[in-house]
Amino acid sequence: MAVSSSAQIRVVAQDPSVRVDGRILTALVSVPVEDAREGPTGHRVQVIDYDATTRTMYARARPLDPADPSDENIMGDPAFHARNVYGLVMATLARFEYALGRRVAWGFPGHQLKVVPHAFAVANAFYSPDSEALLFGYFDRGERTIFTCLSHDVVVHETTHALLHGLRGRFLRASSADQAAFHEAFADVVALLSVFSMREVVQRLIDHYAGRGSRASRKGAVSASALQPDRLKRSALFALAEEMVPERDPGGIGALRRSVDLEPDQNLLNRLEFRDSHRRGEVLVAAVCHAFLEVWVRRLQALGTDMVDRERAAEEGAGIAEQLLTMAIRGLDYTPPVDLLFGDFLSAALTADTEVRPNDERYHLRETLLSSCAAYGILPASGTPDGCWRRSDKQLRRTGVRFGSVQSDPTEMFRLIWANHRWLRLPVTAYSWVSDVRPCLRIEPEDGLPVRETVATCIQHVKITAAELGDYGLHPPPGMHPDTDIVLEGGSTLVLDEYGLLKFEISNRLPKRTDENACKRAQARLDYLFESGTYAAGSAFRGRLAAVHRLRSTQTASSRSEVW
Amino acid sequence: MTRPAPIRVRIFVYNVGFGDCILLCFDYDQGRSRTVLVDFGSTQKAQSGAPPSMNDVAREIGEQCGGKLDVVIATHRHADHISGFAGSSGAVISGLQPEVVVQPWTEEPGLAVDATDSAASSPRAGNRKFTARLDRLHAAAAQVLHQIPRLAATPGVTASLTNELRFLGETNIKNAEAVKALQAMGDRHEYASFGSDLGLADVLPGVGVEVLGPPTLAQSPEIAAMAASDADEFWHLAATADAVPGQPSVRDLFPGARTARRVPQEARWLVPRIDKMQAEELLSLVRILDDVMNNTSLILLFTIGETLLLFPGDAQLENWSYALQRAPNSADICARLSQTRVYKVGHHGSLNSTPRTMLWGGFARAGQVDPAERLITLLSTRAGKHGSESRGTEVPRGRLVEELEARSELVNTQDCRAASGWWREVVVPL
């Protein structure tokens, strides 16, 4: 008898405010089978249900219970909440591992992420790297209690922060306005597109929102006119954290974020209000959402001009979201390891997708994403017409390097890099280390053939004072003291093929007097860091994610040169 | 007929601990004076000796103003600026029969009436929403205060953390009694914003009073950003405010749910961290609230002939930046401010309330040696109550105090002791 490799857990589909036929919408999600214990506790997730406000430790919950709970149980049973977060975290982890073709580690030494579904009576939820934990708060609104742990979007969003930290640890550091925004944007993209993986949920939401007030001539079909972009945009499908908003629009869906409402504008990122990381992140989210919507509507139009089968509509949505989400996650492997700009991510995602899925005839997804991003002022960093990184034409010297080891051993990989530092233009005087080496196995969707790659990241830094910036072609921002300690960073991602040949070298190098582009980029980073207070005493980024969630637009850009 | 002009200004700066209380006496010929009280609040009494009560200070003010106040200015709603207007000390001030009470536009009573006027889009409707939101923020502070006793008893939550929470919570509560007392005081109320005409020409002959802040929502995108009409902008704070102060914040979340009798072994490392993070979350919320309120602060420039006295309350950069950078006449304002003679140091000497290059860097009298020309600075503060040196946020900020001492005639309320008197008198000849 075949043994299933996945189990199913019932979760709240979006959050308790999204109801169909008067009931909270739930869904089954698949999680990898494991020897899960009470908590639930498994090999990657440990739910610890402690409430700091009431000083209560709830009993450990049984790991699996796919029964359809009543609304009362959903709201009033902490064990359901514990299973809800376990299920969503594990499903998100599995999604990442599928896309990347390998196991994904958390960004801390342990293997189990702690998840606290009722951490405190504070209206916030965040990933704490120091505590190796996701913490979900709750708060009262009138007679109701809002549990952030019951929001699909919030749980997936926070889980993505933890996964991204494991994949690209340095993206949590201050570097540029784009990088500060990227964590938020990427987490939003994953949360939004993940909803589409629950097809029955999408079907019911299409019925509920797009079908509302429209003509439905036969069971299972909705009017094509109801599936127009504007109506779909207004649905819960494109809203994040619906329940967090106290005042809803009378006729629509309130939400913490509705990035899809952001109209395309090539100058958006230059505007002052879009320097705030959440607002800036919304621009990238809007570009991805619009690309998705454009492709989906195109597919729906092909299904008919009068009535559209809702199952088919949901299936098309799921298929497109699946590809787009996989492209986004896979793209992480093709990003430079430091100082990310949105344009880097765009090129990375397009390249990653092209490598595994060369034929894009069905959806024209890459072309649509490229044009959608351009409409929001996000241009591929590669500068190529298709937006993909240029393939490397370098033949690495491999004398003395063992190919078997280079796929997984950082020391062996560093030997390869050292032997080729001239080719790779990596200065040997900088402190350098290989931060990650991962063999990956990805499956080409059309022919099912494996694509094997090795992805390695090498990071370099030099520590200097502001007075020495001139040696690197940089100058201190006005007001910076010459004794200020500065760390200049550079980094390269090397993607090797199954024979160990270099396919891509994606670098943001250390600045060098003779490299105008690197200097320009490093100077922008330095100015941004100074302006945002990174060089102020005591500034720390460990608590940044919690603060970012809290401070949406409540803070404005303050000028470093004006404070004491 | 030429209006009389003051012949000198006497400024009384009172040591009220962590707070502001300054009396301006404009003296005219023949022994006549006109008086202005700028703020009257405290959250932490002065250190050592026998610090005065607010009643003592009120009586002192009564004597020094000759039993009559002409103008009362409440720069913003923080307790350390208005708490004294409540209770018996407030009654003493009220008894001095001030004619005009000046407050920022956010305090206009009618504005806060309609908190949910979401359909209207007029500037006034936007202002109403903003003030309604401020009310919710005050409620959040009250809720945070309510939780402090429990936090103080929680292992892992340090005393310094709860002290800072208490301090900021107390500063940011609504101060309803003081607000009410201010509304009942005076014959006329002015709710001012950048560019307002306060109509004080008859009350303070020969003294120009220019309002440089706060800007209105229409004037300043920064302030407007803080008051953005989307309900989500302050959802963390608003949610905290929704819990009703006075009701037990600790309740049975899941009645009848199974609980563990003791913390299981696997959770022992994490539990104290969760306790600490909860307190840190609350502290972050009240810090945001504190900044928002500071930016509603009045910035007033008194002009007597060529002598300029600058009183910015607790205004921070976002408030300042309109007058100094974006207002149509900002270049003219900067040029005139360069000649400031007396500067009341903003926000008790915090790191971001005296714009370093835009304002301080432009003061031509800073660094002057001649006492008749040298900039006079007034710092009303108490160290060790706000911020921390390790984060570079201590109040007063060390670097700023060094600069004030080196380049101006600094009057620091911390130097006012029982032995030497709890106030300082600064005389500015005109």
Nearest-10 Cα torsion for A336, A342, A343, A345: 50
pLDDT value of position A253? 41
**Residue from A53, A130, A153, A158 whose CB has the most chain B CBs within 10 Å, to mutate:** A53
Domain ranges of chain A: 6-167, 179-375, 403-536
Nearest-10 Cα torsion for B44, B46, B48, B51: -110
In a domain, B282, yes or no: no
Q: Is A561 in Cβ contact with B221 (below 8 Å)?
A: no
Predicted confidence (pLDDT) at residue A532 exceeds the cutoff of 80: no
CB atoms under 10 Å from CB of A484, counted, come to 15
Nearest-10 Cα torsion for A27, A33, A38, A39: -60
> How far is residue A508's CA from residue A512's CA, in Å, rounded to a whole number?
12
Strands (E), A121-175: 125-128, 133-141, 144-147
Instruction: Report the candidate in A452, A454, A440, A457 with the shortest Cα–Cα distance to residue A493.
Output: A457
> How far is residue A429's CA from residue A305's CA, in Å, rounded to a whole number?
65
Instruction: Please give the C-alpha separations between residue A136 and each of A216, B277, B278, in angstroms, as whole numbers.
Output: 40, 12, 11
Buried b (16+ CB within 10 A) or exposed e, A143-162: eebbbbbbbbbbbbbbbbbb
Question: Residues of chain B with pLDDT > 70: what percent?
Answer: 86
Helix (H) or strand (E) holding A82: helix A78-100
DSSP per-residue letters across A215-254: ---STTEEEGGGGSHHHHHHSGGG-B-GGG-SS--TTS--
Higher pLDDT, A482 or B119: A482
| CATH code, B424 | 3.60.15.10
Q: Is B259 in Cβ contact with A58 (below 8 Å)?
A: yes
Predicted confidence (pLDDT) at residue B158 exceeds the cutoff of 60: yes
pLDDT value of position B224? 53
The Cβ-side half-sphere exposure at B249, using a 13 Å CA radius, reads: 27
Pairing relationship of beta strands B188-192 and B100-104 according to DSSP bridges: parallel
Q: Which of B222, B234, B240 sits opposite A556 (nearest CB)?
A: B222
Predicted confidence (pLDDT) at residue B176 exceeds the cutoff of 70: yes
Compute the Cα dihedral for B301, B302, B308, B310 and give only its sign.
Answer: negative
SS (H, E, C) A272-300: HHHHCHHHHHHHHHHHHHHHHHHHHHHHH
Whether the CB-CB separation of B42 and B19 falls below 8 Å is answered with yes
Instruction: Report the candidate in B302, B383, B325, B290 with the shortest Cα–Cα distance to residue B46.
Output: B383
Q: Which of B52-66, B136-150, B406-420 has the lowest mean pLDDT?
A: B136-150
Predicted confidence (pLDDT) at residue B233 exceeds the cutoff of 90: no
Predicted confidence (pLDDT) at residue A61 exceeds the cutoff of 60: yes
In a domain, B310, yes or no: yes
> How far is residue A191's CA from residue B298's CA, in Å, rounded to a whole number?
44
Q: What residues does B379 pair with on adjacent strands?
A: B412
When pLDDT is cut at 50, 70 and 90, the band that residue A447 belongs to is: confident
pLDDT in tens, A90-122: 999 999 999 999 899 999 999 999 999 999 988
**Residue from A554, A560, A561 whose CB has the most chain B CBs within 10 Å, to mutate:** A554
Predicted confidence (pLDDT) at residue B34 exceeds the cutoff of 70: yes
* Segments forming the whole domain that contains residue B117: 8-243+288-429
Name the B residues in 285-314 with CB < 8 Å from any A CB. 285, 288, 291-292
- What angle, rounded to 10 degrees, do the helices at A342-356 and A177-195 form? 40
The class of domain A6-167 in CATH terms is alpha beta
pLDDT in tens, B320-355: 989 998 899 999 999 999 999 999 999 999 988 999
Strands (E), A322-448: 431-443
> How far is residue B321's CA from residue B323's CA, in Å, rounded to a whole number?
6
What mean pLDDT is reported for chain A?
85
Residue B326 Cα, gap to closest chain A Cα (Å): 14
Question: What end-to-end distance do the CA atoms of chain B give, in Å?
Answer: 21
Name every chain B residue with its beta carbon within 8 A of the beta carbon of A78: 253-254, 257
> How far is residue B180's CA from residue B320's CA, in Å, rounded to a whole number?
28
Give the nearest chain A residue to B226 (CA atoms): A554
pLDDT value of position B20? 96
Give the nearest chain B residue to A258 (CA atoms): B232
Residue A401 Cα, gap to closest chain B Cα (Å): 43
- Checking A416-421 for CB contacts under 8 A at 24+ apart, the result is A417/A456, A417/A458, A417/A494, A420/A394, A420/A396
Q: What is the mean pLDDT of residues B310-314?
A: 97
Residue A245 Cα, gap to closest chain B Cα (Å): 6
Residue A358 Cα, gap to closest chain B Cα (Å): 41
Q: Is B354 in Cβ contact with A77 (below 8 Å)?
A: no
B392 touches chain A (CB under 8 A): yes
Predicted confidence (pLDDT) at residue A236 exceeds the cutoff of 80: no
Q: What is the mean pLDDT of residues A6-32?
A: 87
B335 touches chain A (CB under 8 A): no
In a domain, B270, yes or no: no
pLDDT in tens, A139-155: 887 778 889 999 998 99
B267 touches chain A (CB under 8 A): yes
> How far is residue A234's CA from residue A240's CA, in Å, rounded to a whole number?
12
Residue B315 Cα, gap to closest chain A Cα (Å): 13
Number of domains in chain B: 1
